[in-house]
Chains A and B, each alone.
Chain A
């Protein structure tokens, strides 16, 4: 039994060793600049990041795409998830609680590729036809450009400039938000439930309204755990592969616009690994994988510690 348990350490060590070994080639050739440098195309003077045919491998656009799509996802998912968790723990009538948590559990378990399938046929047309035009209208209106032009976030070069394909960073962010929402919501709920009732009763006894009770007793006591669950959601978003690969557009370039196509770390590995043109190409992809591995280990470790700091002492719950 001990051996089985120890095997978990062995797996982590094995993964780390294999990734380091396989990425040696690219690490020796490019070093740390792999993650921030780029070449300049002599003809078009555009930055050139990733060109397997000519042996150019710089990972910046993948880092950018992963980061931006995950941040968009958090911006959408966090307020909603915390709202849902507050509703479920503090306000929800008892008979609704069980079906709602069943639903969140179910949605957290639906495979990534199914979300990707749905996104291709429903989400992307929806964004392209109905939702993006609204944002384009707001961000590119003459009045906004006049007043907020100095931020660089509006107009043709802004967050919603360029061609509206439906595919792209925004679509990836939205599908990621849908995927991490159940995770953040259920963990936040768990953290909030672990706040002892005596705290709530004490605050209520002082004459607080329900919202004041939630703010003072629940949110304040659970805030570390809530941050932990948000970070856990971030970790999930960073490593999410299939759904992102299906909607982000697979274009290794960097554009400011959220409507532009991009690429992510996990998606580029999924797309190119089995068809890698050279050993260097494969090695560069493994190095991206190694970076992803280290980042997710750090993020998850941190998140687990935070969640654990709050829920410690309460028994493990299954439902």
Chain B
């Protein structure tokens, strides 16, 4: 009897020890992950902030080796590319999301589309670039801003579709039922009741997709190509912020490195804004008192 109690005691102390060990390991893993990530993040902010100046926003790149200059053309170029991408990606994405959440809910087709959207989300951006190259650049016979915009737009569609769907699903059922109970046709209820209720969420979801493609470089390499000069022609090669960062990161000149860090900061600020907005809207639950 006594031997058995003794045995149980040792076993329990081993169990307690394993428990403490596991806890310690999990905490260690978290610290090992979070600490370097915070360091990276702060480093990016610090480097970017110390490199940023007014010229960055107002001047175009100086020739190789000369100091100074900025990325005004790349910022405008990125803006134009993103405008084309948004025109293409956001309406189609929102439409797809509405279908998934409202009209096709639970059907086999909707499940298949949802699955395909998720898979498409995981297709490497460089492959999207090749697709846009063969769809737009080959028929037009030259690189263009349009091709870059199309590549980014295609990438936005699955993201916008899925976030729109998620946001619409957060709208409580009772609101839809109230609309339908008043004799409103289904399409009308979807557009002016559900979509309207979820609109802050849908808008921030679009912002998130926007911020994500703003940093995409790979699909632009052989669609928009990049440009050292001022250009706002949709039919021509155009500069873009991430492309310029890529080129400057590999250049031998310190001053171009500085511009690359500043460009990275601009992208990061965009991302931080979008992610915090999404979280803010999601945490408010779209509708006060809903869910």
Instruction: List the interface of chain A (C-beta within 8 A of B).
Output: 1-9, 11-12, 14-15, 18-19, 21-22, 79-84, 86-88, 90-91, 100, 102-103, 105-107, 109-114, 116-118, 120-122, 178, 181-182, 185, 209-212, 214, 232, 235-236, 238-242, 246, 266, 269-270, 273-274, 285-286, 289, 292-293, 296-297, 299-301, 303-304, 308, 315-316, 318-319
Whether B131 contacts A14 by the Cβ 8 Å rule is yes
Whether B134 contacts A114 by the Cβ 8 Å rule is no
Residues of chain A within 8 A (CB-CB) of B109 are: 5
Whether B211 contacts A91 by the Cβ 8 Å rule is no
Q: Give the Cβ gap from B236 to chain A, nearest Cβ, in Å.
A: 15
Whether B221 contacts A4 by the Cβ 8 Å rule is no
Whether B268 contacts A239 by the Cβ 8 Å rule is no
Q: If the complex has contacts A111-B242, A113-B246, A242-B217, are A15 and B127 also in contact, measured as CB distance less than 8 A?
A: yes
Partner of B96, one of A4, A112, A269: A4
Q: Which of B85-131 contact A (CB under 8 A)?
A: 91-96, 98-100, 102-104, 109-110, 112-113, 115-131
Whether B119 contacts A300 by the Cβ 8 Å rule is yes
Whether A316 contacts B157 by the Cβ 8 Å rule is no
Report the bound CA distance from A270 to B223 in whole Å.
11
Interface SS of chain B: helix
* Cβ-closest chain B residue relative to A7: B92
Partner of A273, one of B98, B110, B125, B130: B130
The listed residue with most B CB atoms (<10 A of its CB), out of A242, A297, A318, is A318
Q: Give the Cβ gap from A231 to chain B, nearest Cβ, in Å.
A: 10
Partner of B118, one of A3, A240, A304: A304
The listed residue with most B CB atoms (<10 A of its CB), out of A86, A102, A211, is A211
* Cβ-closest chain B residue relative to A295: B124
Residues of chain B within 8 A (CB-CB) of A83 are: 25-26, 28-30, 33
Partner of A18, one of B103, B115, B135: B135
Partner of A86, one of B26, B34, B104: B26
Whether B33 contacts A185 by the Cβ 8 Å rule is yes
The stretch of B15-23, B56-64, B176-184 that contacts the partner chain? B15-23
Whether B29 contacts A297 by the Cβ 8 Å rule is no
For the complex with contacts A2-B99, A84-B26, A239-B126, 12 further pairs of A-B residues with Cβ separation under 8 Å are A7-B157, A79-B29, A83-B29, A109-B271, A114-B215, A182-B37, A210-B19, A239-B127, A240-B124, A242-B217, A289-B126, A300-B119
Residues of chain B within 8 A (CB-CB) of A301 are: 115, 119
Proximity string of chain B (202-227) to chain A, C-beta cutoff 8 Å, 1 when within and 0 when not: 00000010011011111001100100
Kindly state whether residue B74 has any CB partner on chain A within 8 Å: no
* Cβ-closest chain A residue relative to B244: A113
Residues of chain A within 8 A (CB-CB) of B118 are: 300, 304
Report the bound CA distance from A12 to B119 in whole Å.
9
Kindly state whether residue B169 has any CB partner on chain A within 8 Å: yes
Q: How large is the interface on B (under 10, 10 to 19, 20 to 34, 35 or more residues)?
A: 35 or more
Report the bound CA distance from A125 to B14 in whole Å.
44
Kindly state whether residue B193 has any CB partner on chain A within 8 Å: no
Residues of chain B within 8 A (CB-CB) of A81 are: 33
Residues of chain B within 8 A (CB-CB) of A18 are: 130-131, 134-135
Whether B34 contacts A100 by the Cβ 8 Å rule is yes
Q: Give the Cβ gap from B286 to chain A, nearest Cβ, in Å.
A: 10
Kindly state whether residue B83 has any CB partner on chain A within 8 Å: no
Whether B92 contacts A4 by the Cβ 8 Å rule is yes
Residues of chain B within 8 A (CB-CB) of A210 are: 19, 22-23
Whether A266 contacts B218 by the Cβ 8 Å rule is yes
Proximity string of chain B (157-182) to chain A, C-beta cutoff 8 Å, 1 when within and 0 when not: 11001000111011000000000000
Q: If the complex has contacts A12-B116, A106-B41, are A209 and B134 also in contact, measured as CB distance less than 8 A?
A: no
Report the bound CA distance from A121 to B120 in whole Å.
33
Kindly state whether residue B40 has any CB partner on chain A within 8 Å: yes
The listed residue with most A CB atoms (<10 A of its CB), out of B34, B272, B274, is B34
Partner of B130, one of A19, A297, A303, A316: A19
Instruction: List the interface of chain B (C-beta within 8 A of A).
Output: 15-16, 18-19, 21-23, 25-30, 32-34, 36-38, 40-41, 43-44, 91-96, 98-100, 102-104, 109-110, 112-113, 115-131, 133-135, 143, 154, 157-158, 161, 165-167, 169-170, 201, 208, 211-212, 214-218, 221-222, 225, 242, 245-246, 249-250, 257, 260-261, 264, 267-268, 271-272, 274-276, 278-279, 282-283
Report the bound CA distance from A116 to B225 in whole Å.
19
Q: If the complex has contacts A274-B221, A297-B119, are A4 and B95 also in contact, measured as CB distance less than 8 A?
A: yes
Whether A14 contacts B135 by the Cβ 8 Å rule is yes
* Cβ-closest chain B residue relative to A239: B124
Residues of chain B within 8 A (CB-CB) of A87 are: 26-27, 29-30
Whether B215 contacts A209 by the Cβ 8 Å rule is no
A–B complex contacts, Cβ < 8 Å, 20 sampled: A1-B96, A2-B103, A5-B109, A7-B92, A8-B117, A8-B120, A18-B131, A80-B33, A103-B34, A105-B275, A112-B216, A117-B249, A118-B44, A181-B33, A239-B125, A240-B124, A242-B217, A270-B126, A292-B124, A299-B122
Residues of chain B within 8 A (CB-CB) of A286 are: 130, 134
Whether B99 contacts A4 by the Cβ 8 Å rule is yes
Q: Give the Cβ gap from B146 to chain A, nearest Cβ, in Å.
A: 16
Report the bound CA distance from A246 to B218 in whole Å.
12
Report the bound CA distance from A227 to B33 in whole Å.
20
Residues of chain B within 8 A (CB-CB) of A182 are: 37
* Cβ-closest chain B residue relative to A82: B29
The listed residue with most B CB atoms (<10 A of its CB), out of A88, A110, A185, is A110
